[in-house]
């Protein structure tokens, strides 16, 4: 039986121009998943107007350590806006096909979608939301107070996820990258997830929050929770955000 890791590396070697639909002049896929019917849109505060402390890069890096649990705490909508913008938001939009975000993406394809379960976010009901970077808004997909517990079960991390202020779920739409990079694009989605999570860790440290990354989870349960189509989109990485010390 072939080793799946070795097979993945062989089949995603570069270049293989026969797998590049851009060269074959296939229509470019949309940069964002269309909204589901009935999803409510919430405009986020402008992250560039949100004042944060000046924290040296070294201090932000050295402050990270594994988090065994979170205290009951919350984050504000402004803080959430800052975190979402930091890990997937736009720095500038030069043109329709030239956009610069706060993290690198191979070929500028940005294959990730960012969902999150709001546990304790001021102004938001407990539920599932999706970030829309182009308009810096969020879409309310499912309002349900049981979602933190469902996600805790899916990740086997009740002490972290059920007490997190928000838990980020990054999913991949691989064809966005594969269209331009061929099969090599499958590697890009995993690399970009790491970029996004590291940006979240750095940004969270600035507002006094900790991050617990989660790469071990039940794929099928997370897919069901987010309602994604596994034929075109799959979960890649999860990160819980919260505070270790209880708020006064």
204 neighbors 210 (Cβ within 8 angstroms)? yes
Q: How far is CA 134 from CA 58, 73, 93, 100, 177, in A?
A: 31, 29, 9, 11, 18
How would you classify the pairing of strands 98-101 and 112-118?
unpaired
The structural domain count of the chain equals: 1
What CATH number is attached to the domain comprising 106? 3.40.109.10
pLDDT of residue 38: 77
Which residues lie closer than 8 Å to 26 by C-beta, 6 or more apart? 179
Residue 171, CB-side half-sphere exposure with 13 Å CA sphere: 26
How far apart CA 200 and CA 243 sit, in angstroms, is 14
138: containing domain: 36-242
What pLDDT is stored for residue 216 in this prediction? Answer: 95
121 lies in a domain? yes
How far is it, in rounded angstroms, from Cα 140 to Cα 125?
A: 9
Q: Alpha helix (H) ranges present in 117-184?
A: 147-155, 158-161, 175-181
Distance CA 23, CA 101 (A): 25
90 domain-assigned: yes
Q: Is residue 203 part of a domain?
A: yes
> Is residue 25, in this structure, part of any structural domain at all?
no
Domain-embedded: residue 142 = yes
Of 159, 194, 173, 195, the C-alpha closest to 69 is 159
In a domain, 75, yes or no: yes
Q: How far apart are alpha carbons 146 and 156 in whole angstroms? A: 15
Q: What is the pLDDT along the chain (248 residues), one digit of tens a residue?
A: 679 999 999 999 987 888 899 998 999 999 899 887 778 999 999 998 999 888 888 998 898 988 888 998 899 999 999 999 999 999 877 766 667 889 999 999 999 999 999 999 999 999 999 999 999 999 999 999 999 999 999 999 888 999 999 999 999 999 999 999 999 999 999 999 999 999 999 999 999 999 999 999 999 999 999 999 889 999 999 999 999 876 65
φ, ψ (nearest 5 deg) of residue 78: -65, -40
- Domain presence at residue 77: yes
In a domain, 8, yes or no: no
The pTM of this model reads: 0.94
Residue 234 to residue 217: CA distance in whole angstroms: 12
129 forms beta bridges with 116, 140
């Amino acid at each position: 039986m072939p080793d799946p890791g070795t097979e993945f590396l062989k089949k995603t070697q570069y270049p293989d121009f026969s797998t590049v639909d851009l060269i074959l002049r296939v229509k470019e896929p949309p940069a964002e998943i269309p909204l589901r019917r009935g999803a409510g849109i919430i405009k986020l505060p402008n992250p560039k107007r949100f004042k944060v402390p000046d924290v040296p890069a070294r201090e932000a890096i050295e402050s990270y350590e594994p988090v065994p649990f979170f205290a009951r705490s919350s984050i504000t909508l402004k803080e959430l806006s800052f975190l979402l913008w930091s890990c997937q938001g736009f720095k500038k939009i030069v043109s329709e096909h030239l956009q610069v975000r706060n993290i690198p993406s191979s070929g500028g394809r940005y294959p990730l979608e960012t969902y999150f379960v709001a546990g304790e976010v001021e102004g938001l009901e407990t539920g599932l939301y999706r970030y829309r970077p182009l308009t810096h808004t969020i879409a309310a997909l499912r309002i349900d107070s049981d979602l933190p517990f469902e996600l805790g079960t899916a990740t086997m991390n009740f002490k972290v996820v059920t007490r997190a202020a928000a838990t980020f779920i990054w999913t991949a739409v691989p064809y966005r990258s594969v269209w331009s990079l061929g099969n090599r694009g499958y590697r890009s989605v995993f690399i970009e997830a790491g970029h996004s999570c590291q940006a979240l860790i750095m940004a969270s440290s600035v507002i006094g929050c900790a991050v617990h990354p989660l790469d071990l989870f039940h794929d099928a349960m997370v897919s069901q929770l987010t309602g994604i189509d596994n034929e075109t989109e799959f979960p890649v990485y999860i990160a819980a955000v919260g505070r270790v010390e209880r708020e006064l």
